[in-house]
Each structure stands twice: as structure tokens, then as C-alpha cells.
Amino acid sequence: MKRLLLGLVATALAVALPLPAYAGGKTPDDLRELSQKLKVYMGSAVDVTALAGEADYRKVLNREFTHVTAENAMKWESVEPQRGVYTWDGADAVVKNAQRNRQNVRGHTLVWHNQLPAWLTAGVADGSIDAKALRKILREHIMTEVGRYRGKIRAWDVVNEIVDDDGNRRQSIWLTNLGPDYIADAFRWAHQADPHAKLYLNDYNLEWNTAKINTTLNIIKDLKAKRVPINGIGFQGHLGIQYDYPGDFPNVMRQFTDLGLEAAITEADVRMVLPVTPEKLATQADYYQRMLSTCVDNGHCVEFTVWGYTDRHSWVPGWFDGEGSACVMDENLAPKPAYKALLSVRRK
């Protein structure tokens, strides 16, 4: 009953909100058509269990999206849970499904401080993996994973969340044991493994956090000065309607693309404090619309990916107590006002 009521609220509000006509023709019927009109990839993170076991989830994913990201299946703990023992089934399933449905793929993620395999973190902690061994292990991981999907991945999140919210380089096993050069090394190894993939730095709160923005800009300038092959910047786009929309986001994105990078919004969702109301759904729709418009208006932003398209499989309730309804479709895969708002976005 709860799901039904939410779906009815979303549907009613979607009908009540007038949408502007699409410039040069009718409003697109779905996100795949929108992608073609805007010349921006429209993507979603993929839950591999749902991909395998839920026909309705799979049908909507393949109908709507031109780009996909494995939500967890390409992370290190997933692909190498035991040292030297690889489990590619989930990652392979995402790539093969994408190939069958004319979708590009974002690889996520090669170097991160979270979701590392226990054998790696334990080995660093007890000293059985020293700095020299750790560097070798990192290189092997990147070369193995990127090499496996060479020619099949449009873009890789090479390094993820390397700056903390205070604007400092994040303290991690990588920085502590390898020093700051691990970032340049990771990009060089990824490029060596697949010279044609676009290579990204990806982070959250880059839309508004000045300290994080400035540090990240300086890191990128340093990498480019050293001719490190970095191609793109990923803005995760995890927003909440209880906070003001980051109104300076267009200028922030421009600072990065002015450095010669392409940009992507890589993990967009807009959560709210529950319960859901029509007013909250309207605000959420506005936030989604403004994020996509920022990408489209920039000219160098090539991808807009939502971090899961349905509330059925959203990560938000498990991480933010009392919050949820963050996606563009509800638990029953019914479009919410946010979905309709995305379809209304036009190029200036």
C-alpha cells in the first residue's frame, strides 16, 4: 500500500506540473531519446543482482539509458576478494548487457579508500605488505582490471574521493604508504592498460565545497603539468533537498573544464527527509533538472548518470537514517516528477 500511495502521489504531481515544449520538437518520450537530443549520455548505476533477477528492472534500464556504471561489481573487494582469486561474474554481466543494448560503460572504481579486500587492508596493517609490495599490488590491480575490459569501457573513475571535506588530501593507505605520487601512477597505469579509455578523477561535494574544489583543481593542474593522462572530472552529485541547491555549480564545473577536461555528473541522486510529500517531490525535480542543465549548458560535460534509477534499490536509506526517495523512479518503477523534469531540459 505504501508503494502504491507513493506512486499515485508522484503520478498526480507529474500530471499537475506543466512541462515546456522541447526546442525544435516534442518533449522526448524517454531518457534514451533525451540523450540523443542533448548529445549527453544518460546513465544509471546498475545493481547486478537486480539485473540478473528482476525482468522489469532490466527492461527499464535497457530502455531508458545509454550509459551504465556497475554500482559495486567492479570495486576491488568484489573483483578480488582473495588475493589472486578474481570474480568477474558481476562486472562481466554489466558489460555484456551494455553491449547488447547499445550502452556505454563507466568503470568504477580503480583506487579508493573504501571497499578494499580484507586481505589487502589486513596485510598493510600487520606489515606483511610493505610500501614496495603495495605499489606493485596496486599496479597489478589496475593493469588486470582495465586490461580485462580494454576497448569496452568508455571512461574509468581512476581515483575516487581523494580529498576530504576540509580540503586536505585524504588520509588513506595509498597516501600514507605511497605518498601523493600514487595518483599520477594510477592514471599512467590505467592509460597503459587501455589508451583509448577516458580517465577520470571522481569526488563528492565538488559541486559546492570550496576547500575541496581548490585542492582538487591544484591536484589536476599538477597532474597536467607532469603530462599525466587525466581526461575528465566526475561530480558525484549526491544532493539533499534539506540543503540549498549548489547555485554556483555551473561556475565550478567551468573551472575544471577550462583546464581542458571533459566533465560528467557520475552519481546523481537527490534525497529527502521522509515522508514524501508533493512539495518535496517538486523540489527534488527542480534539483535534478538544474543538475542536468548545468551539464548540458557547459558544452564539455558529456554524461549524466543517476546512482540507481529506482528507489527499489537505492543506497540512501541504508546510509542516511530517515531519508530516502532519492531516485527518479519509485519502487514500482513509476516515473516521479524528477524524471519528467529531466525530459524537459533543453540546450540554450
pLDDT digits (tens, 9 = 90+) for 30-55: 999 999 999 999 999 999 999 999 99
Residue 22's pLDDT band, with cuts at 50, 70 and 90, is: very low
Phi, psi of 266 (to 5 degrees): -105, -20
Q: Which three cell numbers stand for residue 301?
A: 560535460
* Per-residue confidence (pLDDT) for residue 348, from 0 to 100: 85
pTM of structure: 0.93
Set 64, 71, 145, 161: catalytic member: 161
Q: pLDDT at residue 153 above 50?
A: yes
What pLDDT does 12 receive? 35
Active-site residue, 267 included = yes
- How far, in Å, CA of 293 to CA of 94, rounded? 28
Which one of 71, 80, 262, 267 is the catalytic residue? 267
Instruction: Enumerate domains of the chain plus CATH numbers.
Output: 2-14+31-343 (3.20.20.80)
Query: How many angstroms separate the CA atoms of 162 and 171, rounded?
Result: 8
Can you give the pLDDT at residue 16? 33
- On average, the pLDDT of the chain sits at 94
Q: Which of 326, 274, 334 is nearest to 11 (CA)?
A: 334
Q: Which residues share a beta bridge with 159? A: 111, 201
Reported as a pLDDT band with limits 50, 70 and 90, residue 4 is very low
Extract the runs of DSSP E, i.e. beta strands, from the chain. 41-46, 67-70, 104-111, 155-160, 198-203, 232-235, 238-240, 262-273, 301-306, 323-324
**Is 161 among the residues known to form the active site?**
yes
| Greater model confidence, 134 or 11 | 134
d(CA 91, CA 106) in angstroms, rounded, equals: 11
In angstroms, what CA-CA distances link 62 with 57, 102, 104, 294, 296?
Answer: 9, 9, 11, 25, 22
